[in-house]
Amino acid sequence: MRMVNARFSEWLSILVCLLIGLKIEALKVNITRLTSAVAKGAVCLDGSAPAYFLDRGVGEGANSWLVHLQGGAWCNSKDSCVTRSKSHLGTSDKMTETSYFDGILINKKEDNPNFYNWNRVFVRYCDGSSYTGDVEKVDEVKGIKLHYRGERVFDAIMEDLLSKGMKNASNVLLSGTSAGGLATILHCDKFRALLPTSTRVKCFSDGGFFLHTRDLYGQYKFHMLEQMINLHGSVKNLPPSCTSKMNPELCIYPQHVVPHMQTPLFILNSAYDPFQIQNILAPSDPIWSTCLFNITECAPREAKRWPEFRLKLINALKELPYSSTRGLFINSCHIHGQAERQVSWLGDPSSKLNNKAIGEAVGDWFYDRTAFQQIDNEHILPQTCAPNPHEPNKANHYNWD
């Protein structure tokens, strides 16, 4: 367990470093702490108020809303939740007063032509359950009180946004990255039901299609999600369209949820997502820890196993029932989460498929201009895409040629 938590700490450090690499031109937005939610029990892990950042739409986009759910892994044990409750991923008291909007959230037409002038919301993640938890009793560990209330946080923030104009929106997109991308899939149909049938509502998951699959040794060893939903009391909040048909615990995995979804969904994932490769495909091999965080150190044996995850992901996607309303963008970038970074969203040629950037594909799909369901079948190994200049060999940069 300590090794798993250490790996998640490494990944959180990587995410922080990626934020450091954001463009200086990114939009700076002030925080909104939803103190009124506390009385409803809708609180972060430590009992503090949930929070979000909102930049108001203008012009033709003033009546459209984009709600983006922050990611940041999960806490699946009391000890890991105690640690998380002391960080910005577990308490709004540790959140910055401002956030930089980039990628899908940026307000520049040339960088985000489809959503730049919408009301854009960045929901801060502070519950550790992909916004699914709901346990009335407050847990106490070594004098630290823990609140498992992610579902209530989601509900309270959506209620607040509806009151601020989202209920009258003409277009709404629910999106999220990583654990937020998983939350987007889990909440998509429920979110759609909050809005009038006349509103165009769709969902976009970035790096959130976490697989339920065997590892390199033929075993299921990634149990963090099942442990998380049991600790947080999440099972009752998973999509009933799935839980009514199979073991409810399996309904935390997108491959079991998506077949039953009614709301249009766009899936963005890398076929070489290093987070999933390390934590799902090779969770018990210490050699992979070094290899995944600095893939210039991958030995030939490890490098040859990378395509196994690609095959597992593609097979899982192909097993989904066909839907003409589903979008799909599966590139071969060695990166986890792409929509929040401008260079990936609309800029880096190596992130594109069929000469179309992620932001262009999502926009065309949302407005029903053209369908987009593409998987990169050209590259059989991870590709250098949108490298972070601050860490040229870390987590997303390698030349396999």
The model's pLDDT over 70-120, given as tens digits with 9 standing for 90+, comes to: 999 999 999 999 999 999 999 999 999 999 999 999 999 999 999 999 999
Mean pLDDT within 109-137: 98
Q: Is residue 51 scored above 50 in pLDDT?
A: yes
* pLDDT at residue 219, as a whole number: 82
Give, in order, the Cα–Cα distances in Å from 254 to each of 7, 362, 373. 22, 19, 17
Single-letter amino acid, residue 357: A
Rounded Cα distance between 145 and 123, Å, is: 23
Residue indicated by tokens 């002030």: 30
The DSSP symbol for 251 reads G
Q: Quick one: how far is CA 327 from the chain centroid?
A: 16
Q: Could you tell me the two tokens for 364?
A: 């065309």
If you average pLDDT over every residue of the chain, what do you get?
88
Rounded Cα distance between 243 and 234, Å, is: 12
Q: Is residue 236 scored above 60 in pLDDT?
A: yes
Residue indicated by tokens 């769709």: 202
* pLDDT at residue 221, as a whole number: 77
Residue indicated by tokens 């099972």: 235
pLDDT band at 293 (very low <50, low <70, confident <90, very high): low
Q: Could you tell me the two tokens for 298?
A: 């991958």
Q: Is residue 390 scored above 50 in pLDDT?
A: no
Q: Is residue 398 scored above 50 in pLDDT?
A: no
Name which residue leads in pLDDT, 307 or 390.
307
Q: Is residue 147 scored above 90 in pLDDT?
A: yes
pLDDT band at 125 (very low <50, low <70, confident <90, very high): very high
Name which residue leads in pLDDT, 38 or 286.
38
Sheet holding 200-206, edge to edge: 98-101, 27-33, 51-55, 119-123, 64-69, 171-177, 200-206, 265-270, 327-331, 373-375
Q: Is residue 15 scored above 70 in pLDDT?
A: no
Name which residue leads in pLDDT, 274 or 339.
339
Give, in order, the Cα–Cα distances in Å from 81 to each of 89, 129, 234, 342. 10, 10, 15, 31
Q: Is residue 185 scored above 50 in pLDDT?
A: yes
* pLDDT at residue 305, as a whole number: 77
pLDDT band at 385 (very low <50, low <70, confident <90, very high): confident
Q: Is residue 301 scored above 90 in pLDDT?
A: no
Active site residues: 178, 273, 336
Range of lowest pLDDT (200-209, 271-280, 307-316): 271-280
Among the residues of 118-249, which ranges form H helices?
150-163, 179-193, 224-232, 240-243
* pLDDT at residue 399, as a whole number: 31
Q: Is residue 24 scored above 70 in pLDDT?
A: no
Q: Is residue 309 scored above 50 in pLDDT?
A: yes
Residue indicated by tokens 């823990």: 146
Among the residues of 58-174, which ranges form H helices?
78-85, 150-163
* pLDDT at residue 67, as a whole number: 98
Radius of gyration (C-alpha) of the chain in whole angstroms: 20
The model's pLDDT over 152-166, given as tens digits with 9 standing for 90+, comes to: 999 999 999 999 999
Name which residue leads in pLDDT, 385 or 346.
346
* pLDDT at residue 217, as a whole number: 78
Give Cβ neighbours of residue 52 (< 8 Å, ≥ 6 apart): 31, 32, 34, 121, 122, 123, 124, 157, 161
Q: Is residue 167 scored above 50 in pLDDT?
A: yes
pLDDT band at 394 (very low <50, low <70, confident <90, very high): very low
Give Cβ neighbours of residue 4 (< 8 Å, ≥ 6 apart): 224, 279, 283
Single-letter amino acid, residue 334: H
pLDDT band at 285 (very low <50, low <70, confident <90, very high): low
Q: Is residue 3 scored above 50 in pLDDT?
A: no
* pLDDT at residue 1, as a whole number: 46
* pLDDT at residue 386, as a whole number: 64
